[in-house]
Structures are given as C-alpha cells and as structure tokens.
Amino acid sequence: MIKFTLLAALLGAAGCASFPQDSTQEVGASNAANGVVTAPKKRSSVSSVAGQTTADDQGDQLLDTHLHADLWGRVRAGYAMPVLDSPLVARQEKWFVNNPEYLDSMVGRAKLYLYYIVEEVEKRGMPMEIALLPAIESGYKPQAYSRARAAGLWQFIPSTGRIYGLEMNWWYDGRNDVMASTGAALDYLEKLHTQFNDWQLALAAYNCGERKIERLIQENQRKGLPTDYSSLKKLPKETKNYVPKLMAMANIIADPAKYGLQIAAIPNTEYFARVVTDGQIDLGVVAKLTDMPVNELFMINPGYQRWITDPKGPHALLVPADKKDALIEGLANLADEERVQWARHQVRRGDTISRVAGHYNVTVESIRTANSMDSNHLTTGQNLLIPVSANKLNALPPATIVKAANANVRHENNDGERVKILHRVRSGESLWSIARKYKVYVHQLREWNLLEEDDSLRLGQRLFIWTTHGSGTSASNSFRNPG
C-alpha cells in the first residue's frame, strides 16, 4: 500500500481469517522446499538486475503472449524477479494454502482487470510479478479503502496520487480508476526501481516510503553491511512481510498444483474497452444502452463516485469489450437531455441550498452548475434540477429519518432496512468514534455530510448516517490489507 503508516482495514474476501503477522514465529511444513518454487524457464528471459528486457527478448516475449489461452500462463512466462529465499515466503504460502476462499474471491475479481494490467506491465518490460501486486494491495478490489485513506487497486494515498497525476474531486477519484491508477502505479514503481536499481527494494519503498528505505540503506552502509532487501533488518513489520507475500503469491500462481490448489483460468483476451462519451453521461443510461446491470458497469468504472461522469471530464467510460459497438451506436442516437438522469426538487419554505444538497448527497456547486445559478439564494416554489443516478435513488428505500439525541439510540426497523440516522454531536465525540459506533467509515461520514478533511465537529452539530439495522454492516468495500 502506498503510504507511510499502514493501518489495516477489514479483510472482506477472507472472512475471519487474517494474514500471518509474527515474523519470528516458526514456519511449519510447507508444500514448497525452502519456501520457493523453481521458476519457469521463461523467467530468466528478463534481466533480474535491471528488470528490463532486451530488444530481442522483448520481441520474443510479445510473440509468446498469444500462445497462452489462459492469462495465468502469460503471467508465469513474464516472471523476472529474483527468487527470495526466506522462511517468510513459506509462511505466506501456508496462509494462502489455508485460505483458498481468499484466492477464489481474488481471482474472481482479477478477471475484470488483470488482462489490462498484464498488457501495461508487458509494454514497459517490467517483471510480470508486478501484475500480481494488486492481489496483495487490495485483493483486486478497485474500491478498497483503508483507514490510512489509501484507495483503489494500487492503494494510493491522496498526496502520492496527486504527485502521479491522479485527479480527485467530488465526482471522480482517479485512485479508483482502473486505467489511470494502473498507469500511475507503474510510473511510481519504475521511478523507485530507477532509484534503487533493485525490484525488491523498489517494492519495499512502495509499501513504506522511499525515504524510509533510503535511511535503512544508509545505516547499513555506515555499518559495512549489505544493502539488499533481505539485509535491511529494521524494516517495518508490514514491509518485512510485503515482498515475501508477493513472492508467495507468484509462487502459487507459478505452480498451483504443487500447493494442492486450483486457480480458475482467466481468458487471455481483453475484458473491457474504452469508449469516449463526448460529454457527461449517467452510468444508469449506459447500462440501459448496453443491456447490462449497472452494478457490473460500475465495477469497471469505480472512479466515478456518483455513478455519473464528471461534467468537466474525463468524458470516457469502460464497457465490456463485446458491448463497445452497442454503446457507440446508442450514444449516437441519444438525445442530449437523455444523457443524465435528474431529480427535480421544488424549493419549499425554509429550504437552503446546502440542505437540499445534503438531502440528495450532492454538492452545492453541482446544484449551482446544473441550474446556472450565480448565488446560493433560493426562492420558494423554484424548481431545481439535481444530477443524480436513477439507479442510486432506486437502490435506496425511502429514508426513515430517526432523530437521535445521542449515539446510543436504538432504531426499531426491520432487519436489513436502510435507515438514515440523524446524530447530534456530543462533547468529546470525533468522526472516528462516531464511525466506530455506527460501524461505518470516517470517509463515509465526510461524504454523507459534505465535510472537508480539515472540518472540525461542533457540539450539537447534526450528522446524517446511513446504516442497516441488525446487519452489523461496515463499509461495503472493507478490506483488511494482507499484512
């Protein structure tokens, strides 16, 4: 995860299981001698020192990509990182072997994104183990969000994301965008490899920060010690297990049968295609044009946080490759007024623009832009157009607003019914304590209540919170990053 302090979130894919943490614990018997699997011959075709192919090798490798019906075969053929001879690798392998449900879930999600990632890694001549890194970072969950505010397949924190060109605003988060975040992550990894001239050190820096790795290298140099990854004894615990975790995953993908596992095949063909939409478009509209569930469409377009594209762009969407022509034809025949699904709100006495924005979970600016307003002033009886996704409105049952004097209120709704809680802030409460009480994330509280990161809570302040009675629900994209 790209961050300088790792705070693990819940692991949705692996249930109650957790990754091994104690690096000093004795490793039990492993299916692989010495904790590694002998690399396929193709692995040596790429330099493990520089991590780059020669022109001849790269040409051979590109020709070979079409020989694999299963994408995993293409991944194995591109292995290029040196084998890591460490008992920590065997320990991570053992965890994966003991938690096959995690692997099954991960592979199910990877089929949407892995072909694109493999293509991009291959174009750059990078070791194909890099294409497996999202398995460790997010379990191939593009909406994964950690308590350290890292997001997406590659787990960028906001500051690093901006450095590498990922735009983040109310409408769109490039960290969740499959194509944008992959490009940014590979740019960052290439930069780290150039800096350290070693892929294992580059990956360690990706996890805990390049300055930390620089300091540890300098410390070893002063002591006359080696400066390779395995020789940096003061690595943070998470980082110490990070590279072994990736190598364990690579070893299992290299030879699943050796571990008594089966890895579902993924076709070596593109899953999605990019279509320029020439303007703002609602995902619900695109779903109808392509005759597909809007949830499936959102899974490959998770950067659009409002289920609608940013009015300022990017004006493009990903659709399954076999839906590309249908979308292009549908957009050509779509009237401008049909591109976005709107809600109409008639201003009532006492309404303010901020209150209306909060009701529809949109920003004041989006209402002003949609209605060509020069100020925040509203007039009773005025009609406002609110750009929202019809799918999201239909997905939420009518809100039961429960006025709560404090956080201990009990709501008497049927199990599974979504309710909108009105919480008044009490003395000593923070967003973190409120989020914990209602089993939601802090970033959700901010989003639901249009709070900026530097906003502080006021005594008596009202917060709206969506929750589900009896479900024990936390964030739907919860994921405990392996560590």
Q: Which sequence positions are flagged as catalytic?
A: 137
- Phi, psi (rounded to 5 degrees) for 268: -85, 55
- Cβ contact 438:431 at 8 Å: no
Residue matched to tokens 């690093």: 160
Q: Which amino acid does the sequence have at 220?
A: N
Compute the distance between CA of residue 355 and CA of residue 359 in angstroms, rounded to an integer.
Answer: 6
Query: Euclidean distance between the first and final Cα of the chain, in Å?
Result: 10
Burial class (CB in 10 A: 0-12, 13-18, 19+), 424: middle
Number of H helices, E strands in the chain: 18, 7
Pairing of strands 272-276, 401-404: unpaired
Instruction: Quickly count: other Cβ atoms within 10 Å of residue 251's Cβ.
Output: 28
Compute the distance between CA of residue 139 and CA of residue 365 in angstroms, rounded to an integer.
Answer: 35
Two structure tokens written together for 48: 């493990």
Please give the full DSSP string across 82-150, using - where no structure is assigned: PP---HHHHHHHHHHHH-HHHHHHHHHHHHHHHHHHHHHHHHTT--GGGGGHHHHHTSS-TT-B-TT--
- Cβ contact 302:154 at 8 Å: no
Compute the distance between CA of residue 419 and CA of residue 241 in angstroms, rounded to an integer.
Answer: 41
Please give the full DSSP string across 356-421, using - where no structure is assigned: HHHHHT--HHHHHHHTT-SSS---TT-EEEEE--HHHHHHSPPP-EEEESSTT------TT-EEEE
